[in-house]
Amino acid sequence: MAFDFLVPVEDRVIAHCELLPAQAIGKNTHIHTVKDGLPVLANATIAIVGVKETRNAFEKKLEQLDVSEIRMQFYRLLLGNWNSTIVDLGDIEEGDTVEDTYFVVKEVVAGLLEEKVIPVILGATQDVSYPAYRAFDGIKDMINLVAIDSRFDFGIDDELISSHSYMSKIITDKPNNLFNFSNIGYQSYFNAQEEIDLMERLFFDAYRLGEVANDLALAEPVLRNAHMISLDARAVRASEMGLANSFSPNGFSGREICTIARYAGISDKVSLFGIFEMENNVQSQQLVAQIVWYFIEGINFRINESPYSKTDDFLRYTVPTEEEELVFHKSQLTQRWWIEVPSIFTSHTKANTPALLPCTEKDYLDACNQNIPERWFKAYKKGFN
């Protein structure tokens, strides 16, 4: 059993939790300890897992990620008005080979997905996204993956998998379960034009840092449609991460990245959230702890709604354009928008029911001005699921 490979949380973290007030997260989390063993997964909502593997880092790590310090920063935060049950399963240490570590990550994540528990991975390097993605094999047919990252991480042809090339492996590896890939926060000067062209050719979605920072609501429908989210901490500006090495002066602010994490939590499709490439300094550890807090906050505001299930709660708008008649739906409860993608039908909807693509009010207003939303066009071309 893969859970047997999980190493208990360090004693210093347990001692830290003993001193916390009753309202602190550390006092309300079921923790894997040497004394008590693994916590029971029944009724758990979120499971925290540390992954210390660094051997496929693009820039070699000078020190091991101190997941215990991130835990202590997280555990001292106070609970929100939540009904989530949090468990901490401890850490996956480096195996004899990188492949050994990947195998354990895949098996642990798959076990959690089968139990309907959301893994929150605190990983040293982002290549761990690959075995986490493979964990969906046999559980979910087609995956929408969102990376919050300054780079697309396609790497160079034939390059061995690394934290800068794991996406190439996800795209090309069999079985190919990737339906859509979206990037939020890329910075053009970190990405070759060939990579940008590849995103276009594959009808993947990409949103530049400036575009999202100017209007964070752009990220919400992208995240609403995601099953898995991989957050590279290097998408955050260096000053917010304690002027850490290998970070850029440009990037998301702490407030912006926490807002994005909350959107990720609110999405009722998201069943895996990973944060990678953190640094061992207090400011970085505090920010990562707060990102996890906002993700869990979002989970507690989830509303499972669909225009096809409760039609009374939705307004329907038909917008004729020169090319196509577009149909939008707006929730009167959450004010969220969807657009129908015609002629693309899915097995999990009623017969002959067009699929629904999350969108923004701006997409509706653009359509009213005869501008077809780009995400709709890409989904239409590709076959939206």
Q: How confident is the model at residue 139 (pLDDT cuts 50, 70, 90)?
A: very high
- Can you tell me the distance from the alpha carbon of 353 to that of 169, in angstroms, rounded to the nearest whole number? 34
Q: State the pTM of this model.
A: 0.94
Q: How confident is the model at residue 385 (pLDDT cuts 50, 70, 90)?
A: very low
| Cβ–Cβ under 8 Å, residues 248 and 232 | no
Instruction: Please write the tens of the pLDDT for every residue from 242-283.
Output: 877 789 999 999 999 999 999 999 999 999 999 999 999 999
Instruction: Please write the tens of the pLDDT for every residue from 1-15.
Output: 789 999 999 999 999
Are residue 206 and residue 354 in the same domain, yes or no?
no
Is 344 a residue whose pLDDT tops 70?
no
Q: Which two tokens stand for residue 193?
A: 């034009």
Are residue 79 and residue 203 in the same domain, yes or no?
yes
Are residue 161 and residue 259 in the same domain, yes or no?
yes
Are residue 101 and residue 8 in the same domain, yes or no?
yes
- Can you tell me the distance from the alpha carbon of 89 to that of 44, in angstroms, rounded to the nearest whole number? 11
Q: How confident is the model at residue 121 (pLDDT cuts 50, 70, 90)?
A: very high
Run of H or E including 356: strand 354-359
Residue 16's pLDDT is 97
Are residue 342 and residue 231 in the same domain, yes or no?
no
Are residue 366 and residue 334 in the same domain, yes or no?
yes
Is position 305 within any domain?
no
Is position 79 within any domain?
yes
Are residue 253 and residue 189 in the same domain, yes or no?
yes
Average pLDDT, the chain: 91
| Cβ–Cβ under 8 Å, residues 328 and 364 | yes
Are residue 328 and residue 229 in the same domain, yes or no?
no
Are residue 272 and residue 320 in the same domain, yes or no?
no
Are residue 377 and residue 264 in the same domain, yes or no?
no
- Can you tell me the distance from the alpha carbon of 177 to that of 173, in angstroms, rounded to the nearest whole number? 9
Is position 306 within any domain?
no
Is position 175 within any domain?
yes
Residue 9's pLDDT is 98
Residue 160's pLDDT is 57
Q: How many domains is the chain built from?
A: 2
The three-state secondary structure class of 60 is coil
Residue 157's pLDDT is 55
Boundary-marking domain end, from 256, 275, 299: 299
Mean pLDDT score, 329-350? 76
Instruction: Please write the tens of the pLDDT for every residue from 61-84.
Output: 778 999 999 999 999 999 999 999
Instruction: Please write the tens of the pLDDT for every residue from 286-310.
Output: 999 999 999 999 999 999 898 888 7
- Can you tell me the distance from the alpha carbon of 375 to that of 381, in angstroms, rounded to the nearest whole number? 10
Boundary-marking domain end, from 250, 277, 299: 299
Is position 263 within any domain?
yes
Boundary-marking domain end, from 274, 299, 324: 299
Instruction: Please write the tens of the pLDDT for every residue from 211-249.
Output: 999 999 999 999 999 999 999 999 999 999 987 778 999
**Given the DSSP bridges, would you call strands 178-186 and 86-92 parallel, antiparallel or unpaired?**
unpaired
Furthest C-alpha separation in the chain? 68
Nearest to 341 by CA among 308, 279, 384: 384
Residue 29's pLDDT is 98
Residue 246's pLDDT is 81
Sign of CA dihedral 274, 280, 285, 291: negative
Are residue 147 and residue 250 in the same domain, yes or no?
yes
Residue 43's pLDDT is 93
For the stretch 123-132, what's the b/e string if a residue is b when 16 or more beta carbons lie within 10 angstroms of its beta carbon?
bbbbbbbbbb
Are residue 134 and residue 263 in the same domain, yes or no?
yes
What is the extent of the structural domain holding 330?
311-382
Quickly list H helices, 233-332.
254-266, 282-299
Q: Which two tokens stand for residue 103?
A: 């195998």
Mean pLDDT score, 99-116? 97
- Can you tell me the distance from the alpha carbon of 57 to that of 243, in angstroms, rounded to the nearest whole number? 20
Residue 36's pLDDT is 95
Residue 188's pLDDT is 95
